[in-house]
Amino acid sequence: MSYENKLSEKVKQIKPSGIRKFFDLASGCPGVISLGVGEPDFDTPWHIREEAIYALEQGNTFYTGNKGLDELRKEVAFYLNRRFNLEYDWNKEIFITVGGSEAIDITMRTLLNPNDEVIIPKPAYVAYEPAVLMSQGKVIDLNLTEESGFKITPEALEAVITDKTKVLLLNYPSNPTGGVMTKEDYEKIVPIIKKYDLIVVSDEIYAELTYENEHCSLANFDEIKDQVILLNGFSKAYSMTGWRVGYIAANQVFIDAMLKIHQFAIICPSTISQYAAISAARDGDSDIERMKESFLQRRNYIVKGLNNLGLTCHSPQGAFYVFPSIAKCGLSSDEFCERLLKEEKVAVVPGTAFGNQGEGFIRISYAYSIEEIKEALSKIESFVKRVLTEKGN
């Protein structure tokens, strides 16, 4: 019997993650310096861990309600208001998910009918396309360019809208490009979102890692707030990737519909993690500032280093990734990364892992210590020099 034939057609069309593929290669190589993984390298702040220990000691090891702990939802509502000037009813408009990852999946499953079109600005986070395909939606690429700082322009957005468009799925600050959309950038696309009744799924998991500007959400625009489904979580802002807590804030119609899936598929995220997240949302503002300051120093260091090597990159305005151009090396993104891994034992991710639009770029995470970044940069330098010599430059 062929077990392959037993798999659903939907699953068969999903390609394995380009990041995973690369890390499988890297894990077979001892002594590799990896600047590939998108997770903060800080310990989860102690007060957050303490809250989890306390929850365990208290025997809080049972299911919570499907929407998550009331206290956590109240803290999330306060937090969104305090940090981003957003107003949500904690009881009707917020529920707790297993990270931003569940939020992405469940949103697509709730919204899409077969062949509904979802516009994804690309290069894009690797989980978006599979989530749309698993829900039988159709992905429509909106090509972002380095020249525009990887921002969505009104012209580019309007050009890809059809009568089947239902959702705009966006992510600012962006993984992988580090691009952000400012209030002024959003002002230009809000009328289009309104005109075409688009539902916006806004993944704001890196909101706290916005450097030069204030973070702005499309949900800050009253005229479209009810069209926006906001996804966020604790992984990146508080260095809590393994705790698996995220949340969705949206109007009640969407929340109630999403809960229909969440209650059967998930029941609730880990109770202990939810207790820990209360402490993060309530008392974690200074942790965020401390980690952000450190990311900013690393960003400045790596951007300068890469530009000195001629791997030009704009300075990322948010998140913790740089997306330099490797055009001058004359290699494809895949070739560059495979050779860099083999010849210098440095792992970074090919831009093509985030869509064809990433060809000619690599993604480097700077959620690593300055020492690691320094060592990796010196190896990248040797590699680039060798490649250019081979080319006869």
Ligand X SMILES: Cc1ncc(COP(=O)(O)O)c(C=O)c1O
Footprint of ligand X on this chain (CB under 6 A)? 38, 99-101, 125, 171, 175, 203, 205, 233, 235, 241, 246
Q: Name which of 241 and 378 has its Cβ closer to ligand X.
A: 241
Q: Name which of 208 and 344 has its Cβ closer to ligand X.
A: 208
Q: Name which of 367 and 387 has its Cβ closer to ligand X.
A: 367
Measured distance CA(147)–CA(161) in Å, rounded: 22
User: Contact 77/223 with Cβ under 8 angstroms?
Assistant: no
Whose CA is closest to 68, among 47, 39, 99, 46?
Answer: 99
**Three-state secondary-structure class, residue 146:** coil
Whose CA is closest to 284, among 104, 95, 75?
Answer: 75
Taking the complex as a whole, how short is the minimal distance between the CB of residue 323 and ligand X, in angstroms? 13
28 CB-near residues (< 8 Å, 6+ apart): none
Taking the complex as a whole, how short is the minimal distance between the CB of residue 60 and ligand X, in angstroms? 22
Taking the complex as a whole, how short is the minimal distance between the CB of residue 358 and ligand X, in angstroms? 14
Q: Name which of 66 and 241 has its Cβ closer to ligand X.
A: 241
Measured distance CA(173)–CA(170) in Å, rounded: 9
Q: Name which of 233 and 350 has its Cβ closer to ligand X.
A: 233
End-to-end CA gap in the chain: 56
Q: Name which of 262 and 384 has its Cβ closer to ligand X.
A: 262
Measured distance CA(216)–CA(212) in Å, rounded: 12
Q: Name which of 149 and 246 has its Cβ closer to ligand X.
A: 246
- Residue of closest CB approach to ligand X: 99
Q: Name which of 246 and 350 has its Cβ closer to ligand X.
A: 246
Measured distance CA(34)–CA(366) in Å, rounded: 10
Taking the complex as a whole, how short is the minimal distance between the CB of residue 101 and ligand X, in angstroms? 3
Exposure string of 258-279, with b = 16+ CB inside 10 Å and e = fewer, is bbeebeeebebbbbbbbbbbbb
Taking the complex as a whole, how short is the minimal distance between the CB of residue 34 and ligand X, in angstroms? 15
Taking the complex as a whole, how short is the minimal distance between the CB of residue 204 and ligand X, in angstroms? 9
Q: Name which of 111 and 349 has its Cβ closer to ligand X.
A: 349
Per-residue DSSP letters for 53-122? Answer: HHHHHTT--S---TT--HHHHHHHHHHHHHHH-----TTTSEEEESHHHHHHHHHHHHHPPTT-EEEEEE
Measured distance CA(224)–CA(232) in Å, rounded: 18
Q: Name which of 76 and 387 has its Cβ closer to ligand X.
A: 76
Taking the complex as a whole, how short is the minimal distance between the CB of residue 203 and ligand X, in angstroms? 5
Measured distance CA(349)–CA(331) in Å, rounded: 14
Taking the complex as a whole, how short is the minimal distance between the CB of residue 299 and ligand X, in angstroms? 16
Taking the complex as a whole, how short is the minimal distance between the CB of residue 346 and ligand X, in angstroms? 20
Exposure string of 46-77, with b = 16+ CB inside 10 Å and e = fewer, is eebeebbeebeeeeeeeebeebbbebbbbbbb
Pairing of strands 117-122, 138-143: parallel
Taking the complex as a whole, how short is the minimal distance between the CB of residue 149 and ligand X, in angstroms? 17
**C-alpha distances in angstroms, 295 versus 41, 204, 238, 378?**
10, 17, 13, 20
